[in-house]
Chains A and B, each alone.
Chain A
Amino acid sequence: MRRFTQLFLEVDRTTRTSEKTAALRRYFEEAPPEDAAWALAVLTGQKLIRRVSYKRLRAWAGEATGYGDWLLGECHSSVGDLSETLSLILPPAKAPRPDEPLRRVVEERILPLAQMTEAEQRTALLGAWDAFDGTERFLFHKLISGNFRFGAARKVVVNALAAAAGVDPAVMQHRLSGRYTPSVAAFGALLSADDGDNDDPARPYPFYLAHQLDDPPTVHAMGQPSDWRAEWKWDGIRAQLIRRSGQTLLWSRGDELITDAFPELRAAGDLLSDGTVLDGEVLAWDEDQPLPFGSLQKRLNRKRVEMMLFVDVPVVFMAYDALEADGQDLRQTDTDARRAVLERLLPGDAALRLSPLIAFESWDELAVLRAESRDRGVEGVMLKRAEASYGTGRTDRGSWWKWKVDPYTVDCVMVYAQRGTGRRSTLYTDYTFAVWDGDERGQGELVPVTKAYSGLTDEEFAKVDRFIRGHSTGKKGSFREVKPELVFEIAFEGINASDRHKSGVALRFPRMHRWRTEKKPTEADTLGSLKRLLDARPS
């Protein structure tokens, strides 16, 4: 697995996406296909086996090193990753051996672990520890850990594979959708040249992205209201619904194919005529209102959509733009013209809806309407210049604006901390926040309401980390109890009732807005005030 190890190091040793992509591409082109087939499975996040239990690995490592479990525990907690810890503390491998190709390592050393008894696994592991050293040993542990993240996002892998095959990345994404079963044949098929008939329907258009409008629009800044079209800013999954060559595909903005998660949208798309591409938002929907985003997530997280969920969380595609009709690319035509086509195209299926235009005469009037956003379950309003064509990415500035309502905020006290992941695994960066459980600040008990792990600068994280280490009052698993002293303003986008949380509420998109160093914990907010937000929401 030397070539695979080299790939790992090349990807690991750069932060530049272009270099990661180039390294992956070289690997796909150079490595023997029987090895690359397995590498691709690993790189796209497939688990090779159910992981060998940490407890066993630690016990065997204890035998091999003579270190007590407490010492292995100290090492593990300092390194933050068991695979790496083991690769560092185990005795050096016995005599150097000839290279074992990745295919052999996977098929002869790793896959058989799944059928083995504990004693057999032990023998196999001790054998592997003798065979591999350094980075190879680390990778071996990663491969049997079931949580290997390679340092290259799926998109980078797909792009590299597309470059190796000489096809469009979207085509590769399409080819990779569904289950990839590692084999020379399957890998070879992925790398084959563009095949028009099968690959054509795949390609979505680049999404045009709106810029954030921070100040209310004025005639001075934006011009006349009549030059603009306004819609609600939907809070769902931005997606393109594509009907081409007798196939329906749903692409998310993250370039993921999500068709399988939304069978009712596929069915609705099947009714469109060939050569149609719509831009819009996938929304959980109830009668005439969007449902909170969380209900949509339930659907995304499931591979197979069970019937119950299907009924529980009805989904619609809220279309707001037509990018292609009758096989013609419409992106160079203006907003009003595309809107006219869109209205003509929609088949009237309940799952395929037209995002309504908001009528307004003046910017002031629009500001009043925007204030209704929360009650309508939307994030604010969208403004699209009437004469603008459909742009690409965020480069054409000034044609689309999102004017969101301000986030909610709440002052919370930090009560628990966990280490971060990845580059933050040595710092405490994931925090749990609490508010006072009654209606009175500083009275009663602090009840945890949310977790947050973003929003601070590296410097602030380092400071908070030091505070945590100096003011820890106990440990519960990976959580450190922290003296309730630091107050943070948490911003969030919405609030839902939740029976999974002790507090009875769940915040959406919580993040640390500010570290309120000037506030005492007794000045933090109350659960009562949060619950009143819940009541104010439309049901």
Chain B
Amino acid sequence: MTHAHSDHATPGSQRYLCSDVGKPVLAQRVHAEAEIEGLPYGKATTINGVTVSLHPAGHLLGSAQVRVEQRGRVEVVSGDYKVAPDGTCAAFEVVPCDRFITESTFGLPVYRWRGDDETTTEMLAWWGGNRDAGRTSVVFAYALGKAQRVLHMLQTGVDELPGPVVVHGAVKRFVDVYRDAGVALPEVDTSTDGSRKACKGKGLVVAPPSVLGTPWLRKFAPYSTAFASGWMAIRGNRRRRGVDRGFVVSDHADWPGLLDTIRATGCRSVGVTHGYTEVLVRYLREQGMDADVVPTRYEGESDSEKEPPMTTDDHG
């Protein structure tokens, strides 16, 4: 398993192999009876005569690139990856290889991330402004990875947070896993009569976007809403979400990140999957590289993955 997001890790198998840090994360996603084997980053194991090792992908806690080697040929599958380091997981490492299979979720030149510091400052200013206006601040973020990342950014961005934090149960599960792994996160509560009372009008709510329009969220009214995602770099996406603010927080490589990484691996061939595959392949070929599209099982949906996903399961 590269990582525990539901479009990469599905329940139903009897045995899983993932990074040792990723074990408790994956355990939340698969059957209790499933056997999960954890492999430390960089440590090799042999499966059917193929040497297999896992290397940090910087995407979320325990995320890994998979390196396979046989008879001197090395191929690396990136899974989802983010180049810039952050404090919630091991930083991405370039793994030299002959063939590199890269994701391309944000494989368009319009996607260029800024540093987290700027975004953190913006989020804190927004939260403070809402508190002054007597409104709860609601951030929609994917329950695994993004939510913890947002919380970590806020925690490390300021000495004292502007108010208490309430998270959705789906977020809380992974907050606990992250905290056990030693990631610095603020005190959080799930939604109870008491925590709502303390949070309403001044605190922060972090929840998956699926709570929009539900009674769960309405209990925090009045509130201002924000969406934390790489898709928020495009204004139209934010408007379509119907949120007040969009914070560009992505767990994926941006356009320069994809190109730099491909170059740095020294690979002679690139497989492009998950995202703007055609665009990236065409661009790489123009640059004289050997590149091809690696189909995914989502291929049947034509180019719909080219657009920001509408489902609550997205994790841009």
Mark interface residues in B99-140 (1 if CB within 8 Å of A CB, else 0): 000000000111110000000000000000000000000000
A105 nearest CB across to chain B (Å) = 21
Report the separation of the CA atoms of residues A12 and B236 in the bound assembly, to the nearest whole angstrom: 12
- B234 touches A (CB below 8 Å): yes
Q: Is the CB of A78 within 8 A of B110?
A: yes
Residues in B neighbouring A111, C-beta threshold 8 A: none
B237 contact set on A, CB distance < 8 A: 426
Which residues of chain B (276-316) have a CB below 8 Å from chain A? 276, 279, 282-283, 286, 300-304, 306-308, 310
CA distance A424 to B236 in the complex (A): 7
Indicate if A68 sits at the interface (CB-CB under 8 A).
Answer: yes
- Is B9 part of the binding interface, using a Cβ–Cβ cutoff of 8 Å? no
The answer on a CB contact under 8 Å between A426 and B304 is no
Q: Interface readout for B209-246 with A: 1 if CB under 8 Å, 0 if not?
A: 00000000000000010000000011111011010110
Chain B residue nearest to A459 in the complex (CB): B310
Contact string against B for A residues 65-92, beta-carbon threshold 8 Å, 1 for contact and 0 otherwise = 1011011001100111100110011000
Contact pattern, B 77-113, Cβ under 8 Å of A = 1, otherwise 0: 0000000000000000000000000000000111110
Q: Quick check: A426 and B307 within 8 Å, CB to CB?
A: yes
Q: In the assembled complex, which residues on chain B have CB atoms less than 8 Å from the CB atom of A84?
A: 234-236
CB distance from B115 to the nearest CB of A (A): 13
Bound complex: CA of A462 vs CA of B112, how far in Å? 27
Residues facing B in A458-478 (CB within 8 A) are 462, 465-466, 469-470, 472
Q: Nearest chain-A residue to B114 (Cβ)? A: A134
B302–A426 touching, CB < 8 Å: no
Q: A15-B244, A79-B110, A469-B304 are in contact. Are A423 and B236 (CB under 8 A)?
A: yes
A98 interface residue, CB < 8 Å from B? no
Within the complex, what minimum Cβ distance (angstroms) separates B71 from chain A?
38
Measured in the bound complex, the distance between the Cα atoms of B304 and A472 in whole Å is 12
Q: From A19, which residue of chain B is reached at the shortest CB distance?
A: B133
Interface size on A, as a range, is: 20 to 34
Given contacts A84-B235, A469-B302, are A423 and B109 in contact (CB under 8 A)?
no
Which B residues are CB-close (under 8 A) to A427? 240, 307
Residues 176-218 of A at the B interface (beta carbon under 8 Å): none
A70 partner residues in chain B, CB cutoff 8 A:
282
Bound together, the chains give a CA A422 to CA B307 distance in angstroms of: 16
Please, which residues of chain B bring their CB within 8 A of the CB of A88?
A: 109-112, 233-234
Give CA–CA (A80, B236) in the complex, Å: 8
Q: Is A14 an interface residue (CB 8 A)?
A: yes
**Once the chains bind, are B109 and A426 in contact (CB under 8 Å)?**
no
* Most chain B beta-carbon contacts within 10 A, residue among A65, A67, A70, A79: A79
Contact with A423, one of B242, B279, B303, B310 (Cβ below 8 angstroms): B242
A145 at the interface (CB under 8 A from B): no
**Would you call A89 and B109 a contact (CB within 8 A)?**
yes
A529 touches B (CB below 8 Å)? no
Contact B303 A425 (CB under 8 A): no
Q: Cβ of A13 < 8 Å from any Cβ of B?
A: yes
Contact of A71 among B109, B236, B303, B310 (CB under 8 A): B109
Residue of B nearest to A84 (CB): B235
* Other-chain residue from A68, A81, A472 in contact with B302 (beta carbon distance below 8 A): A472
Within 8 A of A (CB), among B9-23: none
Give the contacting residue for A79; candidates B234, B245, B304, B310; CB below 8 A: B234
Identify the closest chain A residue to B236 (Cβ). A425
Q: How far is the CB of A79 from chain B (nearest CB, A)?
A: 5
A71: which B residues are within 8 A, CB to CB?
A: 109, 279, 282-283
Interface string of A423-457 (1 = CB under 8 A from B): 11111000000000000000000000000000000
B304 / chain A contacts, CB cutoff of 8 Å: 465-466, 469-470
How many angstroms from the CA of A6 to the CA of B97 in the assembled complex?
47
Which A residues form the contact surface with B (CB < 8 A)? 12-15, 65, 67-68, 70-71, 74-75, 78-81, 84-85, 88-89, 422-427, 462, 465-466, 469-470, 472
9 pairs of A and B residues whose beta carbons are closest in the complex = A423-B239, A88-B110, A425-B236, A470-B302, A462-B310, A89-B109, A469-B304, A469-B302, A75-B110
Known A65-B109, A75-B110, A88-B233; 12 more pairs at CB < 8 Å: A15-B244, A68-B286, A75-B109, A78-B108, A78-B110, A79-B110, A79-B236, A425-B239, A425-B240, A426-B236, A426-B307, A472-B302
Residues of B within 8 A of A (CB): 108-112, 224, 233-237, 239-240, 242, 244-245, 276, 279, 282-283, 286, 300-304, 306-308, 310
